Amino acid sequence: MKEKKWYESTSFYHIYPLGFCGDEIGKTKHPLGKITRSLDYIAESGFKAIYLGPLFESISHGYDTTDFFKVDSRLGNNDDLRDLIQKAHERGIKVVLDGVFNHIGREFFAFRDLQQRRENSEYKDWFSLVNFNSNNHHNDGFSYDTWEAHEELVKLNLKNPHVKKHIFDAIRFWIDDFGIDGLRLDAADCLDLDFLREMRTYTVQIKDDFWLMGEIIHGDYRKWAGEEILHSVTNYECYKGMYSSFNDKNFFEIAHSLNRQYGPEGSYKDIQLYNFVDNHDVDRIRTKLILPVNLYPLHILLYSIPGIPSIYYGSEWAREGKRTDHSDIELRPVFDRAKFKEESEFKDLYELIKKMNEIKLNTQSLLYGDYTQIYVNHQQLIFKRETETQIAFIGINSSEDEFDYYLENEHSLYEHSLYEDILNGKKIEVENNTLKMKLFPKWGSIIVANKN
């Protein structure tokens, strides 16, 4: 059997550092230390990996990189990150950084040279579509390609071997000197596919379990994820399907997506997609849900489907947040565990997520099992995850009423096995060749049995 990598059995805690550490920025020399001091909390919560948003030197939101080899000076210095990663590894936590390689900020050294030397700059081919017969809103006397028309984000020419070497040297630096375990690639749908393939080959030669995950919103995920390209991509299809299935009382939507992705003929059966219910770019799930009490069955679903679950910091306490006037400030608050807990109407959501981390990471069928749908209704979804040695039946109920479902003959291969509802802490008895699944209102059930 092929050896499993760490990223095939993990869950992520997602942090946006400039927000998380915001109360210490400008007040201490080492704001990044706040994340280091939070590692015990992250470990106690059951997370085995953290994804840190942009950390490289920048001017504003972090995605306008000015130096790939330096930690953002607002957050501290490189030694602060070394300390964070070392202490994370001591606690069994992997660390993945944000790799922003599609574009850079206007203060990037090569772009500054281009502004000063124009046609004579040795870096003029580092950037995409530079045109000296045009101009831009900054009155540089030339134009260039951007990310979504934002002139502060200058698009790199990733086919240029010097640009690739600069980026790959930076990646080696973060792996060799800091021990990072992977990269989340920002705007991966804009990145040259050959560049991504080269990155996969390059990084695996340095660290054979180095993980590459791309931010992809639309399209066929197989274009970016597979054996020779990225390991994973963001599962925006199921993100949308999960919250809208609850809001619209229409589980047929998420059931269709899950079956298309992971069913017997599923398109992504061999890819561990990165699953989430919110992040630094979208409204908090507490704000998104029409009925916030659906946070409970929604998170049970998040942890039960195939793929890698991720929780965005603060959402374990049902933190609210909404994009307003094209601003993401509400989505990226200062982390204050005591305040979050005190203000939360759903304090036991944290305990559920903590329990789901334990269940997910200790249940082989939830980590690696095939996905098969059993029952779909407007407010109920029942499916199973199955490996050669274990089976799990998962039921989700968004209704205000209790729902019973009878799994007839599903137990036939496991008649000598012990069934247990590992979410609700109950032993399940089979009567008349029928396994009864009881779904409590706004809740779920995970019944597991080991095969003989």
Domains of the chain: residue spans and CATH: 6-366 (3.20.20.80), 369-450 (2.60.40.1180)
* Whole-number average pLDDT of the chain: 95
362-365: long-range contacts, CB 8 A cutoff, minimum separation 24? 363/390, 363/392, 363/422, 363/446, 363/448, 364/389, 364/390, 365/390, 365/391, 365/392, 365/448
pLDDT given at position 413: 55
Question: For the purposes of burial, counting CB atoms within 10 Å of the CB of 451, is it exposed (0-12), middle (13-18) or buried (19 or more)?
Answer: middle
In one-letter notation, the amino acid at residue 329 is: I
Q: Do the Cβ atoms of 452 and 303 come closer than 8 Å? A: no
| Alpha helices per DSSP H over 10-160 | 17-20, 33-37, 39-44, 78-90, 109-117
- Span 261-308, pLDDT tens digits: 999 999 999 999 999 999 999 999 999 999 999 999 999 999 999 999
- Span 138-183, pLDDT tens digits: 999 999 999 999 999 999 999 999 999 999 999 999 999 999 999 9
Q: Do the Cβ atoms of 189 and 219 come closer than 8 Å? A: yes
Residue 320: which pLDDT band, with cuts at 50, 70 and 90?
Answer: very high
- DSSP lists the bridge partners of residue 147 as 150
Q: CA distances (Å), 264 to each of 100, 226, 241, 296, 384, in order?
A: 36, 18, 20, 28, 12
User: In a 3-state reduction of DSSP, which class is residue 395?
Assistant: strand
What gap in Å lies between CA 309 and CA 193, rounded to an integer?
26
Residue 376: which pLDDT band, with cuts at 50, 70 and 90?
Answer: very high
Q: Do the Cβ atoms of 19 and 60 come closer than 8 Å? A: no
What gap in Å lies between CA 227 and CA 160, rounded to an integer?
25
Q: Do the Cβ atoms of 66 and 112 come closer than 8 Å? A: no
- Span 88-145, pLDDT tens digits: 999 999 999 999 999 999 999 999 999 999 999 999 999 999 999 999 999 999 999 9
Q: Reduced to 3 DSSP states, what percent helix, strand and coil does the chain have, rounded to the nearest 5?
A: 35, 25, 40
- Span 410-441, pLDDT tens digits: 656 565 567 899 999 999 888 777 889 999 99
16, HSE (Cβ side, Cα atoms, 13 Å): 22
For residues 348-356, average pLDDT: 98
Handedness of CA 191, 194, 198, 201 (dihedral sign): positive
Q: Does position 325 have pLDDT exceeding 90, yes or no?
A: no
Q: CA distances (Å), 349 to each of 138, 293, 311, 339, 354, in order?
A: 48, 10, 12, 15, 9
